[in-house]
Amino acid sequence: MTRILPVLTILLAILLFWYAMAVHMNAPWQTTLNTRADLTEVPFTTFAQQTWAQDKPVLPAPHQVITEIWNATVALELSSKRSLAYHGWITLSATLLGFAFGTALGVLLAVAIIHNDASDRSLMPWIIASQTIPILAVAPMVVVGLGAVGLTGLVPKALISMYLSFFPVVVGMVKGLRSPENIQLDLMRTYDASPWQVFWKLRWPAAMPFLFASMKVGIAISLIGAVVAELSNASGGGLGVRLLTGSYNGQTVQIWAALFIAAGLAAILVALVGSAERLVNRRMGARA
Amino acid sequence: MSDTVIETSFAKDTGPAVVRAEHLGLTFPTGDGDVVALSDVNLTINKGDFVSFIGPSGCGKTTFLRTIADLEKPTSGTLTINGMSAEEARRARAYGYVFQAPALYPWRTIEKNIALPLEIMGYAPAQQAERIKRTMDLVNLSGFEKKYPWQLSGGMQQRASIARALAFDADLLLMDEPFGALDEIVRDHLNSELLKLWDRTQKTICFVTHSIPEAVYLSTKIVVMSPRPGRVTDVIESTLPRERPLDIRETPEFLAIAARVRDGLRAGHSYDGEHV
At residue B162's C-alpha, the angle toward residues B159 and B167, to 5°, is 125
Q: Say if residue A176's pLDDT is above 90.
A: yes
pLDDT digits (tens, 9 = 90+) for A134-156: 888 888 888 888 888 888 888 88
Q: What is the pLDDT of residue A84?
A: 87
Q: What percent of chain B has pLDDT over 70?
A: 91
Q: Say if residue B13's pLDDT is above 50.
A: no
Say which CATH number the domain at B65 has: 3.40.50.300
Task: Compute the nearest-CA separation of B69 from chain A (Å).
Answer: 7
Nearest residue of B to residue A181, measured between CA atoms: B103
Q: Say if residue A101's pLDDT is above 90.
A: yes
Task: Compute the nearest-CA separation of B100 from chain A (Å).
Answer: 9
For A183, which of B103, B106, B121 is closest by C-beta distance? B103
Tell me the chain A residues in contact with residue B90 when contact means C-beta distances shorter than 8 Å.
189-190, 192
Q: Say if residue B273's pLDDT is above 80.
A: no
What backbone torsions phi and psi does residue A178 show, to the nearest 5 degrees? -95, 5
Higher pLDDT, residue A108 or B265: A108
Contact B144, B110 (CB under 8 A): yes
Q: Is residue B99 part of a domain?
A: no
pLDDT grade for A1, boundaries at 50, 70 and 90: low
Looking at the structure, tell me whether residues B256 and B187 fall in a common domain: yes
Domain spans, chain A: 4-59, 84-283
Q: What is the pLDDT of residue B5?
A: 43
Among the candidates B116, B142, B169, a domain finishes at B169
- Residue B121 carries which DSSP code? T
Q: What is the pLDDT of residue B242?
A: 82
Task: Compute the nearest-CA separation of B204 from chain A (Å).
Answer: 17
Q: Which of residues 201-230 of A touch B (CB under 8 A)?
A: 201-202, 205-206, 208
At residue B165's C-alpha, the angle toward residues B162 and B169, to 5°, is 130
Looking at the structure, tell me whether residues B40 and B83 fall in a common domain: yes
pLDDT digits (tens, 9 = 90+) for B214-264: 999 999 999 999 888 888 888 988 888 888 888 888 899 889 899 999 988
Tell me the chain B residues in contact with residue A191 when contact means C-beta distances shorter than 8 Å.
93, 116-117, 120-121
**Is B71 close to A201, i.e. CB distance below 8 A?**
no
Looking at the structure, tell me whether residues B77 and B155 fall in a common domain: no
Q: Is residue B145 part of a domain?
A: yes
pLDDT digits (tens, 9 = 90+) for A12-59: 999 999 999 999 999 999 999 888 988 878 888 999 999 999 888 999
Among the candidates B115, B136, B169, a domain finishes at B169
Q: Is residue B275 part of a domain?
A: no
Looking at the structure, tell me whether residues B90 and B217 fall in a common domain: yes
Q: Is residue B161 part of a domain?
A: yes
A188 touches chain B (CB under 8 A): yes
Looking at the structure, tell me whether residues B128 and B248 fall in a common domain: no
Q: Which domain holds residue B220?
A: 3-94+179-267
Amino acid present at A154: L
Looking at the structure, tell me whether residues B154 and B261 fall in a common domain: no
Mean pLDDT of A263-279: 94
Coil vs helix vs strand at B84: strand
A288 touches chain B (CB under 8 A): no
Nearest residue of A to residue B99, measured between CA atoms: A183
Over chain B, what is the mean pLDDT? 86
Mean pLDDT of A87-100: 94
Tell me which of A179, A185, A187 to substitute to probe the interface with B (most B C-beta atoms closer than 10 Å).
A187
Dihedral (Cα; B239, B240, B243, B245), 10-degree rounding: 180
Fold held by A84-283: MetI-like fold (1.10.3720)
Among the candidates B135, B169, B203, a domain finishes at B169
Looking at the structure, tell me whether residues B165 and B191 fall in a common domain: no
- Per-residue b or e along B92-113, where b marks 16 or more CB atoms closer than 10 Å to that residue's CB: ebbbbbbbbbbbbbebbbbbbb
pLDDT digits (tens, 9 = 90+) for B14-70: 567 889 988 989 988 888 888 888 888 889 998 889 999 998 888 888 999 999 999
CA proximity to B107, closest of A115, A163, A140, A208: A208
- Per-residue b or e along B210-221, where b marks 16 or more CB atoms closer than 10 Å to that residue's CB: bbbbbbbbbbbb
pLDDT grade for B274, boundaries at 50, 70 and 90: very low
Contact A143, A235 (CB under 8 A): no
User: What total of structural domains would you count in chain B?
Assistant: 2
Tell me which of B68, B87, B105, B144 to substitute to probe the interface with A (most A C-beta atoms closer than 10 Å).
B105
Contact B1, B231 (CB under 8 A): yes
For B91, which of A188, A192, A286 is closest by C-beta distance? A192
pLDDT digits (tens, 9 = 90+) for B97-146: 999 999 999 999 999 999 999 999 999 999 999 999 999 988 888 899 99
Q: Is residue B100 part of a domain?
A: no
B120 touches chain A (CB under 8 A): yes
Looking at the structure, tell me whether residues B186 and B90 fall in a common domain: yes
Q: Are strands B76-81 and B95-98 parallel, antiparallel or unpaired?
A: unpaired
A vs B, Cβ pairs < 8 A, gives 52
